[in-house]
Structure 1
Amino acid sequence: MVIIMIVVFWGQIIIQKRKLNKVRQDYFQQHGGLLLFDRMKSENGLAFTVFSEAELVQASDNFDNSRILGKGGHGTVYKGIIKNNMPVAIKRCVLVDERQKKEFGQEMLILSQINHKNIVKLLGCCLEVEVPILVYEFVPNGTLFELIHGKNQALQISFSTLLRIAHEAAEGLSFLHSYASPPIIHGDVKTSNVLLDDNYMAKVSDFGASILAPSDKEQFVTMVQGTCGYLDPEYMQTCQLTEKSDVYSFGVILLEILTGQLPLKLEGPEKQRSLSLIFLSAMKENNLDAVLVSYVKGQESMELLRGLADLAKICLDMCGDNRPSMKEVADELNRLRKLTTHPWVRLDVEMDAESLLRGESTSGYQIELSGYPMGESEDQPINPRSSYYAR
């Protein structure tokens, strides 16, 4: 009798294991795992790993709460340690619909091939679970949000360093818009999605709201998602996410650097809740000094601060067509940075929005640096073949 009970017990365990393996295989196929493996085999040198669930459970101490790095609308991120004691960021995504599950493998191929120093690198994923798990490089020094508003504010980072971080983030977004093929629209640009590495170099992160720019204009229509205070008003009205939506959100980042204020306040008079509205009102009244954070005014010339404010203003234009491209924003920040290191540079503070959009002497700044290199990006375009949503 005892032998029969043991046999039945082990038989049930074997059956349950087979069922579990079958479920894992089904999930793997649903998320495009076979396609992903085929492409990985055909593309030698693709630095991308498909992890098992067991590996990531072990790496994160079974997703222990003490390992949580952050939570957001698209998932929870844990610190993990994989083979060779390598730290990684493990993101457990929120539920996705059936269409997104089918496209997941293809999307992972695209994101895995993005290689830019100012974009967080996707190292791998796990597909044998109901909702795929992503594995990113670990970026240790928190976020730009924490540097301006939060726990790292006490570090008292110089304004020139904040300007460098903003420039690096703009370069990362410019790469997504201009060099990825097809272009990638981030969709949730904000200071908490700008991570900082050991040297406080910016790395744009969290592509949970991202889409790959489709060729069919109607495909742009999507449910409005993002973060209040950063959302493009045009996007909220039309539900059409474009590259210029990222530009608007980046304009809010520039405001945070200039003012030290949060993008949105939940209390106080209605007109005083939105940082964008407060700033634009101050600019209209020619009263920029009233919104600048005090330590910034003490560190830099008003000419430089006015230049950055003028750039933020045109990024926040209500009409997306009137905003500059992210490449133009990055180029302008590059020029403004030279003002912090070369004080003899002449600055023409008359802002010319039309010349910015035409790419002529962006925002009216005349840079007199004979033979000085303008720091063109050396990053090469990528060439994945897809037009699906990337998450």
Structure 2
Amino acid sequence: MKLFFLILLSLTTSSTADPKYAKPGCNYMCGEVKIPYPFGIGANCSINKWYNVDCNSSTPYLSALNSLEVLDINLDYQSVSVNVSMFSDCRNPVRNSSQISNINLDGTPFLFSKLDNKFVVEGCGNAVILDHGRVVTACSTICHNDSVSEIISSSCLGINCCQATIPYNLKSYSMNLTSLERQLGGDGVCGSALLVKENSHVRSVAGNISYVPISLLWTLTERDQFNCCSSRFRVDLDLGNGNSLASYKCRSYEGHLKGNPYIVDGCELLLDTQECQWCRYHGGDCHYEDVYHEDGNMIISKLNMTCHYYPLYNHYEGKISLGVILGVSISMGVLFLVAISYVLYKVIKKTKAKRRRKRFFKRNGGLLLKQQEEADPYLFDKTILFTSRELEKATDYFNENRILGRGGQGTVYKGMLIDGRIVAVKKSKVVDERQLEQFINEVVILSQVNHRNVVKLLGCCLETEVPLLVSEFIPNGTLYDRIHNVTDEFPMSLNMRLQIATEVAGAVSYLHSETSIPIYHRDIKTTNILLDDKHKAKVSDFGTSRFVSLDQTHLTILVKGTFGYLDPEYFQSSQFTEKSDVYSFGVVLVELLTGEMPISLTRFGENRSLATHFMLAMEEGRVMSIIDAMVIKEGTRDEILIIANLAMRCLNLNGKSRPTMKEVVAELENIRVSHVPSMVQTNFQQIMQKEELHIITYGESTSTLISVEDNFSK
């Protein structure tokens, strides 16, 4: 019975009429080759002149492409295979030569197919394909003294022969050949390099013209008038360098469509295939769905038929089938396993995250922090350990838009805590053990400090890959930006400069003499001085700071600092004292007084350093020429000279001759008290013409200032 049914199906399916491939009145066969529309035999049978085919002696030729012989036309892949002539002279070796392809497709709707063609090289040497002078692909071979038959039968894997793909569809190409030759039984040498359709290469060439097949893509644009018997869609063909060519294609269901989809009535869709009829015979239902897959640059679609059964009840006995029971049971089991797997996954993920946080805590100095806490339990009373989740939410997962600044030790982000407080989160760089010690050192020092002009530490986080510091947010940026990015809208008055200098000096004096253990800052500079909303100064960045025991006068440590602010005496001796901070403050004071950069390439020689430039100006009695115009406008000559002399004392090359920070604070307070802001001052030109300034002599002579780059080490 089943055999009879299959025979009946085959008879019914084979009895259908022949499908249409060409336009009405046109022939679609030339010899053994089928010529479907949009190609056509004759001018009126094709879509345009490029697709005209001449049928001569039962052989089709593309008349518009130098009458190339047509071997095959594929509607699904939109390709046409043609024969291309290949010339090889076996009497002369090909050495360092260049060839241009004998087909130029520029201006035509055809392309060399990336999918179907291979670049094949025979002989020994090197060959490359060039697209307008740019190398597209290359092939290199080596040769053995084999016979011709051995060469032909060997695999094309680099010995006597190699092959390569092209990365995109070409319009034209040229080839460069280098010593391309092949031994032919010792009688001579010859070689060849060409683009050829895959698995069709003619290997033996006997010194005359031979033909090799090549695959071309054919394209249709919106201007081409054609109608599809199914739907039409767009295909973008890769032309290299990010360029593509839009082509339009009629939808064809490979294996389920007879005829030509480019003709309105040319489709014959075989929905009721033998498989579908067999499915229905057994009580099933045929379901068809589109299946698309991209092969190279052409999109092929198929109809995928599946047979669905709905046996809620046995067809013959009316009872619930065993298959339904098994299916429900298996489905329930699968759902249970999926649920258990999901729960286990979440538990394992949570456990791994917890272990990772513990590992980061240890690596980021958590043990060192605990040791410091055990040594002084009162040290961390007000310091909070934040979780990584808190700080990720606060900084929008460390969004680039939240960055306040970048420094040598890390990046600072602006964040908002759950309670609404605005904070600054300092994310250290990937650190080694020495940098971790600096980080923990900053936490310990800032936990000790409680001063209105020092940035307040709120807490830290050690659970992340790199450690994080959380401190109060200071909104008005750095003193450096305020001095050197001057705006007419908010100029820095002399009174504001004196206030900032006094506040910074007071903070450093507090660190030196008023904390339980003296602290040397070691990196005082205008970029480490922040300004709040009322332009109050806040000293920050204690990464290189150090505690000093009460009986110590100096620290002998590796030289670190910032070019332009570094104490020359410290650089020469590696001994850092509290007077080294005084020197750095002196540079900040001169920066406030002159408005000039600490290091400037516009100044020459020794004058590149602001400290040296200032001291030379003082010695030569021309200091008023480098003072900021706003300072001269608002201050008297005597006030300016008093401030300048204080800066000179701070910059003394002999550290013992410098004042203490406590003395600096007292003098600045006196200057502020005596200063009365006024807009009516002595004319600047008159000041410049007055007698030379009286300079206080300071022990050693002021030679060229010695300074080093940031984080300079011996």
When normalised by structure 1's length, the TM-score is: 0.80
1:314 equivalent to 2:649? Answer yes
CA deviations on 1:73-113 (whole Å, 9 max, x unpaired) are 12111111012211011111234443664786676344223
Name 2:615's counterpart in structure 1. Answer: 280
Change (3 A) 1:102 1:194: closer
- Deviation at 1:311? 0.7
Change (3 A) 1:20 1:218: farther
Alignment of 1:88-99 (within 5 A): 88-98=423-433
Name 1:73's counterpart in structure 2. Answer: 408
1:221 equivalent to 2:559? Answer no
Segment drifting more, 221-230 vs 85-94: 221-230
Q: Which runs of 5+ in 2 are unaligned?
A: 1-332, 679-693, 700-714
1:23 aligned partner, one-letter code: R
Specify which of 32, 35, 44 is matched with residue 366 of structure 2: 32
CA deviations on 1:156-194 (whole Å, 9 max, x unpaired) are 121111111110111011101111122111111111211
Larger of the two Rg values belongs to structure: 2
Given that residues 266 and 273 in structure 1 are in contact (C-alpha distance below 8 angstroms), is that contact kept between their aligned partners in structure 2? yes
3-state SS of paired residue (2:675): helix
CA deviations on 1:179-226 (whole Å, 9 max, x unpaired) are 112211111111121111121111111112211125686992333222
Alignment of 1:147-158 (within 5 A): 147-150=482-485, 154-158=489-493
Given that residues 235 and 245 in structure 1 are in contact (C-alpha distance below 8 angstroms), is that contact kept between their aligned partners in structure 2? yes
Change (3 A) 1:27 1:221: farther
1:176 aligned partner, one-letter code: L
Name 1:301's counterpart in structure 2. Answer: 636
3-state SS of paired residue (1:321): helix
- Deviation at 1:342? 9.5
3-state SS of paired residue (2:575): coil
Specify which of 342, 347, 351 is matched with residue 14 of structure 1: 347
Alignment of 1:1-391 (within 5 A): 2=334, 4=337, 7-8=340-341, 11-30=344-363, 31-32=365-366, 35=370, 43=378, 46-98=381-433, 101=436, 108-150=443-485, 154-214=489-549, 220-341=555-676
Taking the aligned partners of 2:515 and 2:579, their CA distance within structure 1 comes to: 16
Given that residues 36 and 106 in structure 1 are in contact (C-alpha distance below 8 angstroms), is that contact kept between their aligned partners in structure 2? no
Taking the aligned partners of 1:59 and 1:131, their CA distance within structure 2 comes to: 17
Given that residues 247 and 315 in structure 1 are in contact (C-alpha distance below 8 angstroms), is that contact kept between their aligned partners in structure 2? yes
The Cα RMSD (Å) is: 3.1
Segment drifting more, 38-47 vs 200-209: 38-47
1:264 aligned partner, one-letter code: I
Identity %: 43
Change (3 A) 1:78 1:267: same
2:515 aligned partner, one-letter code: A
Taking the aligned partners of 1:189 and 1:136, their CA distance within structure 2 comes to: 19
Segment drifting more, 158-167 vs 290-299: 290-299
How many residue pairs are counted as aligned between the two chains? 349
Higher strand proportion: 2
Change (3 A) 1:38 1:253: closer
Taking the aligned partners of 2:629 and 2:437, their CA distance within structure 1 comes to: 51
Given that residues 32 and 103 in structure 1 are in contact (C-alpha distance below 8 angstroms), is that contact kept between their aligned partners in structure 2? no
Given that residues 380 and 447 in structure 2 are in contact (C-alpha distance below 8 angstroms), is that contact kept between their aligned partners in structure 1? no
Taking the aligned partners of 1:231 and 1:56, their CA distance within structure 2 comes to: 35
CA deviations on 1:12-50 (whole Å, 9 max, x unpaired) are 553343233112113324523672897799659933211
Name 2:704's counterpart in structure 1. Answer: none
When normalised by structure 2's length, the TM-score is: 0.45
CA deviations on 1:53-83 (whole Å, 9 max, x unpaired) are 1100100111111111111112111111012
Taking the aligned partners of 1:6 and 1:316, their CA distance within structure 2 comes to: 73
1:20 aligned partner, one-letter code: A
Taking the aligned partners of 1:95 and 1:15, their CA distance within structure 2 comes to: 27
Q: Which has the higher contact order (CA 8 A, sep 6+)?
A: 1
Given that residues 652 and 658 in structure 2 are in contact (C-alpha distance below 8 angstroms), is that contact kept between their aligned partners in structure 1? yes
